[in-house]
Amino acid sequence: MSPLSSLGWNSELTTYHSDNTVALQPREAGTPTTLDALSSSILTPFKAHPLLFNGHLQTAWTVATQTDIPVYYGRKIMKGRDGGSFAVDFVVSPFEGTDYPAESTEGLPPRTRFLSPEEIAAQETPQEEDTKPMIIALHGLSGGSHELYLRAVLDPLVKQGWEAAVVNARGCANSKITTHQLFNARFTDDVREFVVQMRRWWPKRDLYAIGFSLGANILCNYLGDEGPSCQFKAAVLCSSPWNLEASSLNLERTFLGKEVYSRVMGSSLKRLFEDHVDVLMNDPLINVEKIRATKYLWEFDRDLTAKVFGYPTVGAYYRDASSIDNLVKVAIPTFIVHAEDDPVAPKEAIPYDEVRANPYAFMAVTSMGGHLSWFEPNGERWYCRIVTDWLGKMQREVGGVERREMRWKAGSKL
């Protein structure tokens, strides 16, 4: 790759897909197209910001950027199948703090309030004539609906008339836990419960999903578990780690990986733990002081996540939670975006063969871009434009998707 004066650095863009991707039926009269043809039509080259010329700098800027994207949320607390609670944030019209009682915003992230009882009652009344497209987002490790990388996708879609909601992992985004459970990369029940409720509330909406980083891993696991019965029309997976054991080992083998990325992610989970320690300390499987002594991501997963969810080792947790094998079971059009220089989700974990084996999958891989970054010379994120264009095209132009007999049945073991 070479610098182009002040315009940035050229990045190679390579696509991967089956030799015979599924046919997409037109919404109006016309000729069917294929998933690879539609997906390729929205792709444009990625040119990296001239000062962000590798994956580390791109990823660092994701944290450092002060860009403001004013998305507002109304929060609803839902019950999981196990009796635990999780928070769903629905995008709502902008509001001022004085528009609602102080208790409706207290303790919540900026621009977030609780939905009123009247709003909840209206929402839970089935809307038989509502045909708006709706996007459901899953955030990355210990994040939430407030994350910039997430709002940068939701904002343009909402401006185009979409409805949107973020399913926050338990304990994230200033939500409260009611069971001994925090973030788990294999736990899909809350997404499943929310989809069931959405189908009851809005039976005619086209539903879409997008996952970011570990949220993409969770979403892929959900899509694979659901197989042909999945209620989403299409999905997007951004910067998924795919193979959690390979990703963890990759972090541990370099100084930056271990002392920056793994330590930072471990620290963010420890802060999440401290936010809920009053509940978690009552679990006999949890050694509070041992968890407080951890430094790295894998240590936290070893001493908390694996133990709480019944895994004998952290490696067993990572292998079970990895979504790479579930990708071949996905049976809805799925658009994947990944960068080869992603320092968190390494190149060796990218599912090249699995994408080729699944006619419902299409993957765009850039040589540069970092983790959930892809910053261009104008400061905007390339992937946001790409995935919103893809989702918009799917919604406007596609009326149905060809059904294929999948090699791997949903729920089967590879």
Q: Is 96 within the bounds of a domain?
A: yes
Which residue among the candidates 213, 240, 248, 367 is catalytic per the annotation? Answer: 213
The bridge status of strand 207-212 relative to strand 163-167 is: unpaired
Same domain, 266 and 176: no
Q: Is the dihedral of CA 258, 261, 264, 270 positive or negative?
A: negative
- 80/136 same-domain check: yes
User: What pLDDT is stored for residue 409 in this prediction?
Assistant: 54
Q: Does 357 lie in the same domain as 317?
A: no
First CA to last CA distance, the chain: 39
Q: 17, 322, 371, 373: which is the annotated catalytic residue?
A: 371
Task: Say if residue 116 is in the same domain as residue 201.
Answer: yes
CA distance 384 to 388: 6
Catalytically annotated residue among 275, 301, 303, 342: 342
Q: Which domain holds residue 59?
A: 7-243+322-401
Separation CA 268–CA 114 (nearest Å): 25
**Does residue 11 have an active-site annotation?**
no
| pLDDT the model gives residue 63 | 86
Contact 236, 390 (CB under 8 A): yes
276, 293, 321: which is the final residue of a domain? 321
Clarify whether residues 336 and 290 are in a common domain.
no
Task: Answer yes or no: 93 catalytic.
Answer: no
Q: Tell whether 281 and 212 lie within a shared domain.
A: no
Looking at 321, 339, 356, the residue that finishes a domain is 321
Query: Do 95 and 233 have their domain in common?
Result: yes
Active site residue 213: yes
Number of domains in the chain: 2
Examine the domain organization and report whether 328 and 369 are in the same domain. yes
Question: Considering just the CA atoms, what is the radius of gyration of the chain in Å?
Answer: 21
Q: How far is Cα 171 from Cα 339, in angstroms, rounded to an integer?
A: 29
- Enumerate the H helices of 117-243 as residue ranges: 117-123, 148-159, 189-201, 214-226
Q: What is the pTM of this model?
A: 0.95
Q: How far apart are CA 239 and CA 222, in angstroms?
A: 17
Cβ neighbours of 281 (radius 10 Å): 14
Domain end marker among 293, 321, 349: 321
CATH number at residue 14: 3.40.50.1820
pLDDT at position 414? 43
Can you tell me the distance from the alpha carbon of 397 to that of 27, in angstroms, rounded to the nearest whole number? 5
For residue 29, give the amino acid letter: A
| Tens digit of each residue's pLDDT, the chain (414 residues) | 444 435 789 999 999 999 999 999 999 878 899 999 999 999 999 999 999 999 999 999 998 887 899 999 999 999 999 999 999 999 999 998 778 888 899 999 999 999 999 999 999 999 999 999 999 999 999 999 999 999 999 999 999 999 999 999 999 999 999 998 887 899 999 999 999 999 999 999 999 999 999 999 999 999 999 999 999 999 999 999 999 999 999 999 999 999 999 999 999 999 999 999 999 999 999 999 999 999 999 999 999 999 999 999 999 999 999 999 999 999 999 999 999 999 999 999 999 999 999 999 999 999 999 999 999 999 999 999 999 999 999 999 999 999 988 766 544 444
Distance in angstroms (rounded) separating the CA atoms of residues 162 and 396: 12
Residue 1 in any domain: the answer is: no
pLDDT of residue 28: 85
- Identity at 100, one-letter amino acid code: Y
> What DSSP state is assigned to residue 329?
G
Within-domain flag for 413: no
pLDDT at 408: 60
Counting runs of H as helices and runs of E as strands, what totals does the chain give?
A: 16, 15
